[in-house]
Structure formats: C-alpha cells, structure tokens
Amino acid sequence: MLRKWNIAFLLVVGMLSPSFVFAQTATGAQRSAVEMIRDEGMNRSQAMATMKYLSDVIGARLTNSPAQRRSNNWTREQLEKWGMKNSIVDPWGEFGKGWELRRYTASVNANGEFVAFRAFPKAWSPSTNGAITGDVVFVDATDEAGLEKYKGKLKGAVVLTMPERPVEPGFKPIATRVSDEELAKLDAAKPNDNVQLNRGRPAGAPGGAQAFNARKMRFYFEEGVAVLVDPSMGTDSGTIRVMGASPAPPPVTTTPTPGGPGAGNPSAGMRVYSKNAPPTIPQLVAETEQYNRMYRLVKQGLPVKMTVDLAVKFFDDDLQGYNTIAEIPGTDLKDEVVMVGGHLDSWHSGNGSTDNGAGVTMAMEAMRILAATGVKPRRTIKIGLWTGEEQGLLGSRGWVAKNLGQLGDGSDAAAFAAMAGTGAASINKKPGYDKFSAYYNLDNGTGQIRGINMQGNEQLRPIFREWFGPFKDLGASTVTVNSVGGTDHQAFDGIGLPGFQFIQDPIEYFGRTWHTTQDVADRTLEEDMKRSAVIMAAFAYNTAMMDSVLPRKNPATAAYASFTSNFDLMALNDEMEFRRMGLRQQWCGQDVTSEMISDDIPLFLTLTARHDGVRHNH
C-alpha cells in the first residue's frame, strides 16, 4: 500500500510532467458499453442507407451549392430523428458564391473526324454563353519571348495548358489494403523534430516556373482565349480528376489591403468563388488519353477544332458557409466536449461518395450507434459535418475559431508568423478551449480503420492501445506517433487541442476515386464502413468516460499548423525547395503533387515532412 505522501508526490509529478500519464483501465461497465456499440453497429447498421441517400439522392456537394445546402438540412434532420440534441445548421463565416453545372457538351473535329470529347468543367468556371468553336492550340512557350509568337493569335482559341502526360501500363492493382509490414513500420515510428519552413529563396522572389505559369495565365486573359483544357492529373483509363477553376489573375500592380486577403503575400490574390471575384476563363479537365491525342495532332500541325457548350449558374444570395452540428448531452461532465466528424462538402464531377460521403456516413453512424445503445457518456459528444474543407479546411477552422480559440489575433499575419517561427505562437483561448477533450476525423475514403495517428503526442500511446484492444480481430490496432495533414483534424491540432485522423485502408481512394468522376456510391464498401463507425463510436465513448481530458501536446509543437485563409506558401518555397527540405504535399490524407491541388486551396495546408520513411505534417 502506498503511503499518503507517496500518493501526493505522484499526483504532483503527474501535474508537472505532461509525459507522466496514468493509463486509465476500462471499467467493466465501459467494456460492456463497447460490446453494445459493436453489436449495434455490426448487426443493425444504417450506414449504407445514409451513404446512398447522400450520394444518389443529394449527389455532389460543392461548397455553397444548392445540393450542399440540402445536405446540411438533411443531415441535421436525420441526426435529430436519431435522437441527437441541439441539431443545427451553423454558420462559420463568409465563403463566397455557390456554383452549379446546368449543361455541358464538348466535341472535337480532329483532322476531319468527329470526336465526342470526354472532359469535365472545373468548378466556378463561367458559362460559354452558348456553343463556341475555336482552334485547339498548345502555347509552346517557356519565357516572355516565347509568348510573343502567340500575340494576336489566341482570340477565341481553345488552349491546351500542358504537354502530353505519359500513360503507363497499370501493372500494380489500384485497390489495396495497408499491409501488416506497413502497419508495423508505422507503429515503430519515432518522433522527429519539426522541419523549419521559413528557409528557401527570399520573400518576394517567387520561383521561376511558378512565376511564368502565372504570367501565361495572364497572357491568356489578355489575348482573349475562349477555353482552357488540362489533362487529368494522377489518373488515366477514363477517370478524370476535377477540382476548381483558376481565378482571373490580379493586375500586376495589385497591392493587398492590410489585414485583408493576400496580406503579406502579393501573389495570393482573390479566390475564384469570392463575392467580388471577376469572371475567369471557362476551364475543362480532359481524360488523359484524349488530351494526349489532341496534343499530338496539334504538334504535328494538323487542324483541330473544339466546340464547347457550357452553362452554369452562380449563387450569391447567401455567401455564408454552414456546418451541421449536433450532440449527445453528457452527464456529470456535460460541459466538456468530445467530437467526431468529417467534411460534408465534395467536388462536383462524381457524387462525393468516398470523399467524403464515407467519412460523413461513418461519423453519423457512430452517433446513431451511441444514441441507439442508450449509453450515458459523462462528457457531451458532438458531431461536426464541415463544409469548405476542399477549399482549405474552412468550416472546421471557422468553428474552432468561434468556439475554441485561434492563433494570435486571428489574422493571417499572426498565423503565418507562428508557422514560420518569426512570431510568438500564442493561442487566444475561448471558454470552450480548456473543456475540449478530443476530435476524431475520418476523411480517407471507404476503407476501414486500421489504427490512429497520434500527431506527435506520444503520451497517448497506452490509452489508444487499450481502446483498440476489442478490435484487434478486425485488424485495427496500430498506434503511430505519425502526424498527417490535409484534413479537418488540423483545425484542432493547430491550436494545441487533440485532433486525430484515423489510419484507413486506401482501397481505391487515390488511384481511382479521390476528386474524380468515379467518386460514386458503387466504390464504397459496407463492411468497412460498419467497422469504422463502431471504432469511431467506441473512441468517442471512451474519451467521454475518462476522469480528465486527453493529455495535450506542448503548444509549441503545434506552431506549424497555420490557419490563414489566403496565404500561399508556394510564393516563398517552390517545388524544388520543398524537395530539398524533404517536404511533400498531402490533401484529404493523400500524397499529392502541387499540380494536383486546386488553385483555390492554400498549398501550405498540404505540406508534410518525411522522416524514417513515414510522413509527418507540420
């Protein structure tokens, strides 16, 4: 038996040392509750019904589109029907204009042959105002002198924006699960120091390639180009990856308004969906193989004409963005909060099923399971279904700033200074900050949970290890110190609060469905979603039953998660500098290249650093 002074000593050490954690063993009642959660989720699941309604009935949910607004209302009503309390559609701040595709056709006359052109319009592209026909041109220029050759020759033209993209045979399977060997490496990963991001070329000296690409875009506007066509990036075999249109380039003399969009970053400019954004050029993404053929014909000097008929509608009656929020009230610790969630918005060429209808389905199903079992969590368990994630984690960041806290004064300048290490990373806390325990996110497709990323917080290993105990037979047990980025847990992690993305089996996520025309309900797996919903519900419940909130990281380690809405780190560190520093990019949990990221997304939110073969987000 410990003497009283020994107990007191241990309590003091525990309070003074954040790494000293009392691993709480689950009580018999908690184990029984987890068994009830598993039984409800595996035997009476409603996950597939939720998925099919979101995907088939509501469809694609581009931020601030009519369909996305319908999804807000439907999820609120559904959660309320399942017994959630305080179910609301909650404004998070101004986003900008909604957009909806009304009509689209494209065809090519290739050296006398009619070809139905397989392509898809980028979001927020303007209408062509009826069918237009123009010569297909590739602007083969790498400097200003090269552009001179095309002056006066591009009015009404359809411009191919890139060279031919190589297509390789698909010897490797697209659909995969995380192997035991890969999971073991993740589990054994060690913490690493953060990588400073403020190295590279001096501010105000953007990389040559990026600067010239911006110049080419301005040149297309000046010359009156009718349509811009990109090849699909990272996909082939008929799958097309589509995101947002590039905005109209700002005048060269533009000076950002202090504290406004682009403050401290002259290259940032206005987003294509911003309320005062000028119209851009209609833009398409083409099936890679068709794009390559058009490119080769044009390079041979053969005549190619394209006809495009694009009709869209913009919506500016309500510029606010909205999340769906609901809760299961707690008992003795009801003022404290545990949260689950995922982003409700999607891109528009598919139905938003794996990105992120699956995550929404699993989070909603987790809440339904908890309500159906009748468990009584000590803390309040909330669900957040975010919008604007695809444009930069906007909805989750807005909710966090409104309810929990923000870096510095909340300005872009303060957040960037904290990220770059040139300013104090002070966190201005809201009343809910100290009462917030954890946020659990799902945004990596339909694949089942295989483990969790601790975001560098090694104190959590024994806790999470125990919580995965009942699910080892499902192949879910990996606990890694790894940090990942590009999705909504960053909104919490960035201000020092526990926020986590689960490790999921990739299935076909990046190879086929991520932001593509194949992001449809047929590509989702019911059994995987059932398992993930059960595990998410169990983690939320266990967190809600602890005697204290989850242990937190030292706030200094969160300084790199920056939450400015308009700052583009690529203006300071180009692709070569990223590679020299060991940095890569990640979005929605996927490793990407800068070419795959929409111009509407702040690229610094995608940065990851690779150590020991494992990627870490900073």
Report pLDDT for 569. 31
User: Quick one: which of 605, 380, 390 has its CA closest to 491?
Assistant: 605
The answer as to whether 149 is a domain residue is yes
User: What value does the mean pLDDT of the chain take?
Assistant: 84
Give the model confidence (pLDDT) of 226-245 as tens digits: 999 999 999 999 999 999 99
3-state secondary structure of 16: helix
* pLDDT of residue 326 exceeding 80: yes
Write the Ramachandran bin of 155: left for phi over 0, alpha for psi from -120 to 50, otherwise beta.
Answer: beta
CATH of the domain at 130: 3.50.30.30
Structure tokens at 460: 């959590």
Distance, CA of 374 to CA of 282 (rounded, Å): 52
Write the Ramachandran bin of 513: left for phi over 0, alpha for psi from -120 to 50, otherwise beta.
Answer: alpha
Tell me what percent of the chain is helix, strand and coil, each rounded to the nearest 5: 35, 20, 45
386 and 262 inside one domain:
no
**Domain stop point among 545, 564, 583:** 564
Report pLDDT for 423. 57
Average pLDDT over residues 373-398: 97
205 and 301 inside one domain:
yes
Distance, CA of 33 to CA of 27 (rounded, Å): 10
205 and 269 inside one domain:
yes
326 and 278 inside one domain:
no
CB atoms near residue 234 (< 10 Å)? 18
103/268: higher pLDDT: 103
Distance, CA of 559 to CA of 407 (rounded, Å): 9
Distance, CA of 446 to CA of 127 (rounded, Å): 34
Write out the residue range of the structural domain in which residue 413 sits: 33-97+318-564
Report pLDDT for 253. 57
Contact 569, 268 (CB under 8 A): no
134 and 218 inside one domain:
yes
Give the model confidence (pLDDT) of 167-184 as tens digits: 999 999 999 999 999 999
The answer as to whether 527 is a domain residue is yes
* pLDDT of residue 51 exceeding 50: yes
The single residue listed with the structure tokens 């105000």 is 204
Average pLDDT over residues 593-599: 53
220 and 352 inside one domain:
no
Q: Strand 98-110 relative to strand 158-160: parallel, antiparallel, unpaired? A: unpaired
273 and 142 inside one domain:
yes
Q: What is the percentage of the chain residues whose pLDDT exceeds 70?
A: 77
The answer as to whether 616 is a domain residue is no
CA 179 to chain centre: 24
Instruction: Give the H or E element holding residue 530.
Output: helix 526-545
The single residue listed with the structure tokens 């097309």 is 240
The answer as to whether 587 is a domain residue is no
Which residue type, as a one-letter code, is found at position 541?
A: Y
The answer as to whether 219 is a domain residue is yes
Report pLDDT for 207. 57
* pLDDT of residue 468 exceeding 50: yes
**Domain stop point among 284, 313, 342:** 313
Least confident of 13-17, 116-120, 139-143, 345-349: 13-17
* pLDDT of residue 561 exceeding 50: no
467 and 351 inside one domain:
yes
Highest mean pLDDT among 79-88, 201-210, 605-614: 79-88
The answer as to whether 233 is a domain residue is yes
457 and 560 inside one domain:
yes
Beta strands in 13-127 (DSSP E): 85-94, 98-110, 113-116, 119-121
Structure tokens at 113: 């042959």
308 and 327 inside one domain:
no
Give the model confidence (pLDDT) of 492-550 as tens digits: 999 999 999 999 999 999 999 999 999 999 999 999 999 999 999 999 999 999 999 99
Give the model confidence (pLDDT) of 291-315 as tens digits: 999 999 999 999 999 999 999 999 9
Q: What is the percentage of the chain residues whose pLDDT exceeds 90?
A: 72
Average pLDDT over residues 41-67: 98
Report pLDDT for 264. 38
Report pLDDT for 83. 98
CATH of the domain at 394: 3.40.630.10
Report pLDDT for 92. 97
Domain count of the fold of the chain = 2
* 342: phi then psi, degrees, rounded to nearest 5: -175, 170
Instruction: Give the H or E element holding residue 538.
Output: helix 526-545
* pLDDT of residue 115 exceeding 70: yes
* pLDDT of residue 257 exceeding 50: no
The answer as to whether 575 is a domain residue is no
* pLDDT of residue 323 exceeding 90: yes
**Domain stop point among 515, 546, 564:** 564
Distance, CA of 536 to CA of 220 (rounded, Å): 48
128 and 142 inside one domain:
yes
449 and 511 inside one domain:
yes
